């Protein structure tokens, strides 16, 4: 099994729908992150969490919310999806002892029509 | 504010050519960490290297090498004798922390290696 698992891998949804992207990890890392990737813009931080009780907004949090249900689970919600939220979304984890920076999930490709 | 620039949007080379991907960064921190990630067509992000600001030694790993120059705020990545499997988007990233908290990513460079 992957260290960081994202579900679903692909999703097409309609404008105005609520959608949740899920992330779970087996690394035992405290810190978890949600990024979105758009062509030519790299990855931009949406939300991050340093532990279950700590949630922080990133660079582009408007239109998104998150829930840290447990150390291993960090979900991203789009309350009312809009087409410009069409992107590739990545979950990542990190920890003080991590030599590799982030451990990324495989990504969720979301299309809002 | 931190910023990472990858001026090359797309590069195409023929197999076996050498290619250098440029990365220029901005930061006011005296301690920081630089990373390179590879994103193959399958979409996942693969860690390649981490370098801290106190270590300016160049690094070589097989066909990959990295040149870190604080004087020019650059952390360039060279692939020697490129192969088709090197075709990917490559991201340079900057963080003030070793464990990668709050990365700032560059926009990425798409490398196409043609047979």
Q: Comparing C-alpha atoms, which of B40, B103, B38, B101 is closest to residue A98?
A: B101
pLDDT on residue B106:
94
pLDDT on residue B101:
60
Q: How far is CA B98 from the centre of its chain?
A: 16
pLDDT on residue B17:
97
The DSSP symbol for A83 reads G
Is A34 touching B (CB cutoff 8 A)? no
pLDDT on residue A94:
85
Provide the pLDDT confidence category of residue A97 given band limits of 50, 70 and 90: low
Phi-psi region of A85 (alpha: psi -120 to 50; beta: other; left: phi over 0): alpha
Residue of B44, B95, B103 with shortest CB distance to A107 = B44
pLDDT one-digit tens code per residue, A1-30: 679 999 999 999 999 999 999 999 998 988
Of A15 and A99, the structure prediction assigns the larger pLDDT to A15
- Mean pLDDT for chain A? 92
Residue showing tokens 């002892």: A97
Yes or no, beta carbons of B99 and A104 under 8 Å apart: no
- Taking contacts as CB-CB distances below 8 angstroms, the residues of chain B near A44 are 105
- Asked if residues A110 and A11 have their Cβ atoms less than 8 Å apart, the reply is yes
For β-strands A19-25 and A73-78, DSSP reports them as: antiparallel
pLDDT on residue A1:
63
Is B33 touching A (CB cutoff 8 A)? yes
For β-strands A73-78 and A108-112, DSSP reports them as: unpaired
DSSP per residue, B50-64: EEETT----EEETTE
pLDDT one-digit tens code per residue, B59-108: 888 999 999 999 999 999 999 999 999 999 999 999 876 555 678 899 99
């Amino acid at each position: 099994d992957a260290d960081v698992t994202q579900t679903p891998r692909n999703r097409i949804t309609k404008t105005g729908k609520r959608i949740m992207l899920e992330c779970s990890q087996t690394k035992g890392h405290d810190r978890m992150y949600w990024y979105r990737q758009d062509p030519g813009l790299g990855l931009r931080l949406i939300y991050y969490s340093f532990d279950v009780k700590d949630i922080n907004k990133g660079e582009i949090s408007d239109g998104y919310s998150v829930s840290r249900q447990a150390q291993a689970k960090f979900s991203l919600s789009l309350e009312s999806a809009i087409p410009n939220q069409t992107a590739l979304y990545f979950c990542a984890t990190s920890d003080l002892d991590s030599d590799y920076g982030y451990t990324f999930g495989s990504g969720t490709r979301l299309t809002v029509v | 504010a931190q910023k990472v620039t990858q001026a090359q949007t797309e590069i195409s080379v023929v197999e076996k050519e050498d290619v250098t991907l440029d990365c220029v960064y901005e930061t006011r921190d005296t301690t920081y960490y630089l990373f390179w990630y590879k994103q193959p067509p399958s979409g996942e992000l693969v860690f390649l290297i981490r370098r801290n600001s106190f270590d300016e030694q160049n690094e070589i790993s097989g066909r990959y090498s990295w040149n870190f120059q604080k004087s020019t705020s650059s952390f360039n990545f060279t692939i020697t004798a490129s192969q088709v499997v090197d075709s990917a988007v490559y991201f340079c990233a900057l963080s003030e922390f070793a464990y990668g908290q709050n990365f700032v990513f560059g926009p990425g460079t798409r490398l196409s290696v043609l047979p």
